């Protein structure tokens, strides 16, 4: 497949004013498309041929202005149709035939369970018919769907239902019209036998919007949380951004088989069922939070993505980074700022930082791609959101929101660029944002190094700051970027020292703006050497180096107000202890950590959810990103040792907290459960029989958070209680696919026994299906969270993943390419083991591969 470059962007030669689609669903599906086309007046070339994208279907007919074309009148390639001579304005009729039953890519029109549904972003629409499959061609869509009334009683598409009726032979039809201009990637269609749960929402201006969730029969009772989340998101966007929903109907359909989380199709969102369905018996509190944030994310896209879309896929972060930022703010506003921020940062550091340091590193606005689906990444999404957050930090929330509103006003109904977004903020704020253009255009995580000194005679506290950037793989010089560092200084009694602003380096009393490579900040009138804390709220997506002493970290952990900074201190203490255990066994750092945690535990508990986060140990995959080269066996032993030491040092308080795991819903109970689960997880490592029995008992709890917490705690402990609990769980939830995914993930992630063999047998398990969620549960968990098994010394783990990727690539390249992330980091692994992983990559590269997998493997071997 060819590489596409951002610099090669050209305006579309033809525009589409109207699209009329007619789907006739039978054994196969026939699609008749009528496109009103005209030459783009902004493009000068008068006789350019018409070139349309399309693949994976049979072409039955092509007609221009009702004149049927013969095969000699057009040319077809694998993925294009070209008609050399067309009028300036004409109607094109295309008839295609598709086989959704055989479509395993889950892109275009495919079957999931008993329903047919679509996924068009990024380029799935051209699996349905010939079309200019690019986001800057916006059109009006009207859609007629016809099918068997019994098999497919529900027929949906975007916009408003305008007509429906019965047809001979037990068939029926529905016609939908979407009044808003949209690119074809936002097209959607669903045909199925689904239950509908309806509710209503009254917008700020008093309009009534019908909210409809479509789910498999029997799942009706699992919709209320998603419904309530949707209403909260609608209210939040009105209150914070002044944005109202614009149609009279908002539909969400839950599909079992879905390549990603969800899709924001105009008026008809399609969701992975795991982000819709929840009951306390089947979903954990974390699942509840995930549903709320994905529901909000897709809803927020209605403005940031749909009303204003992207000019080309290089601008993907324009809609994704901004929308992730919006859903993060929503969750922070609703569920507590610190805990939510901690979770986002943990995710960023565990996934995005390694990506940005590996072979797939790319700018938030990439310069080129081979397969665009490979660029729906943590960099485009989460780092993109961090850039938007920094802009807000710098401009202030009110100016920032006014800037977003201006951007939406100026580009409503059109396709925009990241440049347009920045320009709107510049116009609104009167500030130059060139520095942020650099954030969008260069890959890599900046490193900020800070040193301090205090001069008692002059009473000056001096900070030296420096930013540095790892060299880019292609040798391009790295440029400096603006880095907002929120900070605090405290005196020895823990009181905050107020600092007067000194623009431009210190634009606000609590904010350093590091724009150059180096800067020195002198803070006058300081009575004694202060305790600093940097990057409050994680104000910039950077790594920060500062030689905190253990005492400083302890006092930050215990007394800092900023919850994020407390967590950061805990993480640093844990990392130090972990490194010490890995290198030489327990010493000062381990003692400092245990002492700090004991003091923390002795305090009255104020915020249980935060305390749970403070106690949580860094994950294996996060630790793996912190050591180089990675020696998985050493890493996991050191982590196990740390877990046990913490359990032994805190047995008293952990026992108290773990005993309070309530089974009723609600936020304060969820906080208790979070604290109970992390406590039980530590305690389990002592292998005391009484604790193992508690685990077995709680694994049978009717509350999924409690049950799953107990299983997680037991999961790495080789004991009969674990076996019994896992077996009982399997029997209990055999017929609940979303819960069964949890069982598969636990098995794939367990450190006990022969992990590689166990994963192999999971793939043969009678309950295994190659559904994307199930595949992620088994193979994704295996490589990411089971370092011991995956990095087995003989390379069997690598070969297992490589074989599965090769196999899956033939049916679902997107899922296969996601799993490739487990193979990319071979250079970071200790030799000679790295060569075993490399051999798997080489092996793969010699097989026929999709563009998706081919691009990643190729880059990893460079």
Where in 315-354 is the site for Zn ion (CB under 5 A)? 320, 323
The alpha carbon dihedral of 535, 538, 540, 541 has a sign of positive
Residue reference for tokens 């200019």: 132
**CA distances (Å), origin 493, targets 153, 463, 530, 601:** 70, 21, 10, 21
Measured between alpha carbons, how far is 90 from 92 in angstroms, rounded to an integer?
A: 6
Minimum CB distance to ligand B3K, residue 188 (Å): 12
133 contacts ligand B3K (rule: CB under 6 A): no
Rule CB under 6 A: choose which of 20, 121, 146, 287 binds ligand B3K.
Answer: 121
For residues 346 to 375, the per-residue mask of contacts with ligand B3K, x marking binding by CB under 6 A and - elsewhere, is: ---------------------------x--
Contacts of 765 (CB under 8 A, 6+ apart): 744
Q: What is the DSSP letter of 745?
A: H
Residue 100 or 384 with smaller CB distance to ligand B3K: 384
Choose among ligand B3K, Zn ion, none what residue 263 binds, the Cβ cut-off being 5 to 8 Å by kind: ligand B3K
Our CB check for Zn ion shows the closer of 175 and 322 to be: 322
- In the bound state with ligand B3K, the residue whose beta carbon lies nearer, of 20 and 264, is 264
Token readout for 194 is 């689904």
Q: Taking CB under 6 A as the rule, does residue 580 contact ligand B3K?
A: no
Beta carbon nearer to ligand B3K, 53 or 298? 298
Residue 501 structure tokens:
């602003």
State the nearest-atom distance from the C-beta of 445 to Zn ion, in Å: 22
Q: Is 624 in the site for ligand B3K (CB under 6 A)?
A: no
Task: Choose one: 314-322, 355-363, 397-405, 768-776; the region binding Zn ion (CB under 5 A).
Answer: 314-322
Total number of residues binding ligand B3K (CB under 6 A)? 12
CA distance 286 to 705: 8
Nearest by Cα to 641 from 582, 592, 573: 582
Q: Taking CB within 5 to 8 Å according to partner kind, which of Zn ion, ligand B3K, none is near residue 122?
A: ligand B3K
Residue whose structure tokens are 């180089």: 628
**For ligand B3K, which is the closer residue by CB, 381 or 534?**
381
Q: Considering CB distances under 5 to 8 angstroms, the limit depending on partner class, which of Zn ion, ligand B3K, none binds residue 554? A: none
Q: Which x/- pattern over 373-402 shows residues binding ligand B3K (rule: CB under 6 A)?
A: x--x--------------------------
Classify burial at 66, counting beta carbons within 10 Å of its beta carbon; exposed 0-12, middle 13-18, buried 19 or more: exposed
Interaction between residue 300 and ligand B3K (CB under 6 A): no
Scanning 7-15, 261-269, 343-351, 561-569 for contacts with ligand B3K by CB under 6 A, the matching segment is 261-269
- Location of structure tokens 């009694």: 493
Q: Which of 292, 298, 620, 855 is catalytic?
A: 298
Is residue 556 within 8 Å of residue 566, measured between CB atoms? yes
Distance from C-alpha of 444 to C-alpha of 440, rounded to nearest angstrom: 11
* Least distance CB 296 / Zn ion (angstroms): 11
Q: Identify each DSSP E strand in 623-716 by its residue range.
A: none
Residue among 514, 543, 328 at smallest CA distance from 444:
543
By CB under 6 A, the residues from 314 to 333 that bind ligand B3K are 320
121 binds, among ligand B3K, Zn ion, none (CB under 5 to 8 A by kind): ligand B3K
Element (H, E) at 478: none
> Could you say which residues in the range 71-110 bind ligand B3K, by CB under 6 A?
none
Pick between residue 260 and residue 577 the one whose CB is nearest to ligand B3K.
260
d(CA 707, CA 284): 9
Q: What is the C-alpha to C-alpha distance for residues 575 and 618, in angstroms, rounded to an integer?
A: 8
Task: Quote the crossing angle between the two packed helices 704-714 and 720-733, to the nearest 10°.
Answer: 140
DSSP symbols for 42-54: T---TTPPEEEE-
- Alpha carbons within 13 angstroms on the beta-carbon side of residue 361 total 18
Q: Does 297 bind ligand B3K (CB under 6 A)?
A: yes
Cβ neighbours for 595, distance < 8 A, ≥ 6 positions apart: 554
Omega cis (within 30) before 426: no
Min dist. Cβ of residue 627 to ligand B3K (A): 32
Angle at the Cα of 230 from the Cα atoms of 159 and 736, rounded to 5 degrees: 100
Residue 260 interface partner, choices ligand B3K, Zn ion, none, CB cut-off 5-8 Å depending on type: ligand B3K
Q: Give least dist CB 308 to ligand B3K, A.
A: 14
Q: How far apart are CA 568 and CA 398, in angstroms?
A: 28
The entry of ligand B3K, Zn ion, none that residue 53 binds, CB within 5 to 8 Å by partner kind:
none
What is the smallest separation between the CB atom of 107 and ligand B3K, expressed in angstroms?
8
Say which residue the tokens 């070139």 belong to.
Answer: 51
> Does the annotation count 298 as an active-site position?
yes
* Min CB(122)–ligand B3K separation in Å: 5
CB 128 within 8 A of CB 189: no
Q: Which is nearer to Zn ion, 328 or 539 (CB)?
A: 328
Query: Among positive and negative, which fits the CA dihedral 645, 648, 649, 652?
Result: positive
State the minimum distance, in angstroms, from the CB of residue 123 to ligand B3K. Answer: 9
Nearer to Zn ion, 323 or 379 (CB): 323
Q: How far is the CB of 304 from Zn ion (least distance, A)?
A: 9
Q: Which is nearer to Zn ion, 20 or 320 (CB)?
A: 320
The site that binds Zn ion (CB under 5 A) totals a number of residues, namely: 2
The residues binding Zn ion (CB under 5 A) are 320, 323
Residues catalogued as catalytic: 298
Site residues, ligand B3K (CB under 6 A): 121-122, 260, 262-264, 297-298, 301, 320, 373, 376
């Amino acid at each position: 497949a060819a590489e596409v470059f951002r610099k090669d962007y050209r305006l579309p030669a033809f525009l589409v004013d109207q699209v009329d689609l007619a789907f006739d669903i039978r054994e196969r599906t026939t699609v008749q498309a009528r496109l009103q086309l005209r030459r783009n007046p902004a493009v000068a070339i008068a006789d350019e041929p018409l070139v349309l994208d399309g693949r994976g279907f049979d072409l039955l007919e092509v007609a221009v202005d009702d004149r049927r074309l013969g095969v000699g009148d057009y040319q077809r390639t694998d993925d294009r149709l070209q008609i050399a001579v067309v009028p300036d304005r004409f109607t094109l009729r295309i008839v295609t035939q598709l086989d959704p039953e055989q479509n395993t890519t889950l892109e275009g029109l495919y079957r999931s369970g008993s329903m047919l549904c679509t996924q068009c972003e990024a380029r799935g629409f051209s699996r349905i018919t010939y079309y200019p499959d690019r986001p800057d061609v916006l059109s009006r869509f009207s859609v007629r769907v016809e099918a068997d009334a019994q098999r497919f009683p529900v027929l949906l598409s975007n916009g408003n239902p305008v007509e429906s009726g019965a047809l001979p032979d037990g068939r029926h039809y529905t016609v939908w019209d979407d009044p808003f201009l949209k690119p074809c990637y936002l097209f959607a269609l669903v045909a199925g036998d689904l239950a509908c749960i309806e509710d209503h929402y009254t917008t700020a201006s008093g309009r009534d919007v019908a909210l409809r969730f479509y789910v498999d029969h029997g799942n009706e009772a699992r919709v209320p949380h998603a419904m309530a989340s949707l209403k909260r998101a609608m209210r939040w966007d009105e209150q914070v951004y002044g944005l109202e929903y614009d149609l009279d109907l908002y539909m969400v359909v839950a599909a079992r088989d879905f390549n990603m989380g969800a899709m924001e199709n105009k008026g008809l969102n399609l969701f992975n069922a795991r982000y819709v369905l929840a009951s306390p018996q089947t979903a954990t509190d974390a699942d509840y939070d995930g549903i709320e944030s994905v529901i909000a994310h897709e809803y927020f896209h209605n403005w940031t993505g749909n009303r204003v879309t992207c000019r080309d896929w290089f601008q993907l972060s324009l809609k994704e980074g901004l929308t992730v930022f919006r859903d993060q703010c929503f969750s922070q506003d609703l569920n507590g700022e610190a805990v939510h921020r901690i979770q986002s940062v943990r995710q960023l550091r565990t996934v995005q930082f390694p990506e940005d340091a590996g072979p797939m590193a790319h700018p938030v606005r990439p310069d080129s791609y081979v397969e665009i689906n490979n660029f729906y990444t943590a960099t485009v999404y989460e780092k993109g959101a961090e850039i938007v957050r920094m802009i807000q930090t710098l401009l202030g929330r009110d100016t920032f929101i006014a800037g977003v509103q201006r951007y939406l006003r100026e580009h409503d109904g059109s396709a925009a660029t990241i440049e347009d977004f920045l320009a709107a903020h510049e116009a609104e704020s009167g500030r130059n944002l060139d520095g942020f253009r650099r954030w969008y255009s260069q890959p890599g995580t900046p490193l900020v190094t800070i040193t301090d000194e205090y001069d008692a005679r002059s009473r000056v506290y001096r900070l030296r700051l420096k930013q540095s950037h790892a060299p880019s793989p292609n040798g391009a010089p790295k440029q400096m970027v603006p880095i907002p560092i929120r900070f605090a200084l405290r005196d020895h009694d823990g009181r905050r020292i107020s600092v007067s602003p000194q623009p431009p380096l210190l634009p606000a009393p609590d904010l350093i703006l590091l724009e150059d490579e180096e800067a020195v900040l002198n803070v006058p009138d300081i009575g004694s050497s202060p305790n600093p804390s940097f990057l409050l709220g994680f104000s910039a997506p950077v790594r920060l180096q500062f030689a905190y002493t253990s005492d400083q970290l302890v006092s930050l952990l215990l007394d800092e107000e900023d919850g994020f900074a407390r967590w950061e201190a805990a993480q640093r203490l844990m990392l130090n202890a972990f490194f010490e255990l890995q290198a030489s066994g327990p010493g000062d750092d381990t003692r400092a950590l245990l002492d700090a945690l004991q003091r923390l535990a002795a305090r009255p508990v104020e915020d249980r959810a935060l305390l749970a986060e403070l106690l949580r140990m860094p994950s294996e995959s996060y630790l793996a990103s912190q050591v180089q080269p990675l020696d998985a066996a050493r890493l996991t032993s050191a982590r196990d040792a740390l877990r046990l030491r913490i359990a032994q040092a805190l047995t008293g308080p952990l026992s108290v907290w773990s005993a309070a795991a309530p089974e009723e819903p609600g936020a304060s109970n969820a906080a208790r459960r979070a604290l109970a689960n992390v406590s039980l997880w530590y305690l389990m490592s002592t292998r005391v029989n009484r604790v193992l029995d508690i685990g077995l008992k709680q694994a049978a709890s009717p509350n999924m958070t409690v049950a799953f917490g107990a299983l997680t705690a037991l999961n790495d402990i080789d004991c009969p209680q674990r076996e019994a609990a896992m077996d009982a769980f399997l029997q209990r939830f055999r017929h609940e696919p979303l819960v069964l995914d949890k069982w598969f993930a636990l098995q794939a992630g367990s450190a006990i026994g022969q992990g590689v063999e166990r994963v192999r047998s999971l793939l043969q398990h009678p309950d295994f299906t190659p559904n994307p969620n199930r595949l992620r549960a088994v193979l994704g968990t295996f490589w990411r969270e089971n370092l011991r098994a995956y990095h087995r010394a003989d390379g069997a783990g690598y070969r297992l993943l490589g074989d599965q990727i090769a196999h899956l690539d033939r049916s679902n390249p997107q899922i296969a390419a996601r799993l490739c992330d487990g193979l990319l980091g071979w250079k970071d692994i200790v030799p000679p083991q790295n060569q075993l992983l490399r051999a798997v990559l080489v092996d793969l590269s010699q097989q026929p591969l999709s563009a998706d997998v081919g691009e990643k493997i190729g880059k990893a071997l460079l």
